Amino acid sequence: MKTITLALAGNPNSGKTTIYNHLTGARQHVGNYPGVTVEKREGKKIYRDYEFTIIDLPGIYSLTAYSPDEVVARNVLLEEKIDLIVDIADATNVERHFGLTVQLKELGLPMVLGLNMMDLARDQGFTFNFPLLSQLFGMPVLPVIGTKNEGVNELLNAAIDLMEGKEKSAERPVRYQRDIETQIGYIQALMPNIYEKNSLVDRKRKEVVDRWAAVKLLEKDPDVVARVKKSPQSQPVLAQMEKSRRILREQYGEDPELIMVDSRYAFARGAIREAVIFPGEDRATLTEKIDRIILNRVLGLPVFLIAMWLLFQLTFSLGQFPVGWIESGVAFLADVVGRGMPEGLLKSLIVDGIIGGVGGVIVFLPNVLLLFLGITFLEGTGYMARAAFVMDRLMHNMGLHGKSFIPMVLGFGCSIPGIMATRTLENPRDRLVTILVVPLMSCGARLPVYTLLAGAFFSPGNAGNAIFSIYIIGIILAVIMAKVFRTWVLPGPSEPFVMELPVYRLPVWKSVLLQVWERALLYLKKAGTVILAASVLMWVFFTFPVAEQQPHPDPSVQMEESFAGRIGHGIEPLIKPLGFDWKTGVALLAGFAAKEVVVSTMGTLYSIESGDPGDGTGEVPEESYAARVKEQSGFTPLTAYGFMLFVLIYVPCLSTVAVVYRETNGWRWPMFLIGYTMTLAWLVSFLVYQGGSFLGIGR
């Protein structure tokens, strides 16, 4: 069977991921590119006796070296064995998307261009001359409707025809002004072999890549300059680069990079003018009509808050039914296992440590998935880009811009992809500040803690409101801390906000559900590894050393004299002003591994204290997990709310800290993150608990 390695490229919001999911289905592998935290998605597709290896490149706007995403995408295309590129462009926004198409064309690889969202483009009145576009760009240009899986196989057919020589992908790199072409030639003649793998392909390919590198040197691309500096032949190349840039600056009166960027977009604009007919300007699209409300200066923020409130209400109200079913199943399993085993440490380990700990986390899987489903749905409709736009004014006042809000929104699902998403920010200060505040957004791992305590200490009608308020407080704290950091820690001018607002569309449910399925597997994998290990470890800490009263020590005495009890009593003076006791401190310490472990630790703790669930009666305990927590924790609604706030703010999980270490290349900022979140968590919880106690609220 023949093989083809295909790179799928495109701007963010082009529908590229939807097409990738259609092509690969569940046959995907997700990891990271070596040495960086940029996500690498790769899948397989068998089609017409060909095995396609499909690499989903990060969504990018250009091939400049402004962000890690852009550097990774172009290094994949230049250094890995890629047979051809399939570029996905939004047919309703060709002016912007064709700019990337022209840049990809300069890499010299065979290309196919797919114009996605053709149904929306036709509804808006766009008309495309596809044969002429193919001729102008020198590549097959095809209509695609990714949401309906229309035209996707035609992209593969065109790729096969290119590989078999039935179609031509003409080399039409942009030709710049004569003076610029002359300087490119001077630099290219001296160019060392900085992309060595291309020398193993063929001479023609190497010439194209050397020309591309010469163009980038003329633009003073930092990544290409750094590669040249590593070469023994670097001195004459860099000297020619500076000489050529000086000559062009004197001739044109501006930086060569600006001239060359304008030339690329002039090529794209010329092709559009020849082959695309735009709708009349007096015709208001559905997207424009909706945006008059969504982006309204007065209504925009209330609409966003209402959308978030509804999301969290639905997450709690709809999730309580499957949560109850799973909770009953866990209790039944604990009862069956407990009745079938003799008394002893092994029974305690399995029933209290494993079932009580891991089961206490798994029961909240429906809530996590409902939240992630809602966020994924809103992203797919195009609304989340509007939320960032609406937040721009507030964010700008805090020293950032609306684009920083996208990683923060992603942090609702998990802090790790939120932090990784900051690589799209071009300003290093903006990126670092956003990394530091993303953990203040409530990730899905914290939701089980909120759901447990809200269900135990608040009425069903107010539980969703309590959780919603926690999320809003997280946003407010993130914005405030961004202002603090931008003013005193990382001062400097903020970048202007430019963001593409995609058209509204119904998400592809296959793609949405696939992402939710991946989240479910990740959650269960976490429950079966990190949380299981932490639950067993906490059981050991609660069980040993065994108290002296033999043969059946009182559970409360056993916990007091255990390793966990001693640690908890050691930190109790620090957290007592917050209304927490030593047991709460142990649960918070366990949360360093993963926030779900806070729940599993409480599950282990209260399973032990309440006695063996498998009491030999054949009855499954009617008392729910939440009821046990309410009865045995000694919390009041005020204490529970303060605890939820502490879990929201204090140090993120170890995995998040590790990602911050990798993104910032050192321990300075991860340690700063740990220090400031712990301090802020203590201060906020102290003010809430002491202030509420003084006012007699929630006691």
Annotated binding site for Mg(2+): 21, 24-25
Neighbouring C-beta atoms of residue 7, cutoff 10 Å: 23
What residues form the annotated binding site for GTP?
10-17, 35-39, 56-59, 116-119
Q: Which residue has the tokens 């300075």?
A: 668
The 3-state DSSP class for residue 112 equals strand
Nearest CA to 153 among 9, 48, 14? Answer: 48
Please state, in angstroms and as integers, the Cα–Cα distance from residue 627 to each residue in 189, 545, 594, 633, 674, following that order. Answer: 77, 29, 24, 10, 33
Q: At what angle do helices 668-695 and 428-437 cross, to 10 degrees?
A: 50
Residue 139 in tokens: 């590549």
Detail the residues annotated as belonging to a binding site.
10-17, 21, 24-25, 35-39, 56-59, 116-119
- CA separation, residue 462 to residues 93, 456, 459 (Å): 44, 11, 5
Provide the CB-side half-sphere exposure for 574 (13 A, CA): 15
- Lookup: tokens for 101: 């198409």
Total Cβ atoms within 10 A of residue 37: 17
CA gyration radius, the chain: 29
Residues 6+ apart with CB under 8 A from 697: 638
Number of H helices, E strands in the chain: 33, 9
């149904």: which residue's tokens? 119
Could you tell me how far CA 146 lies from the centroid of its own chain? 22
694: left (phi over 0), alpha (psi -120 to 50) or beta: alpha
Nearest alpha carbon to residue 699 among 640, 638, 641, 644: 638
d(C-alpha 448, C-alpha 363), whole Å: 8
Neighbours of 305 (CB within 10 A): 13
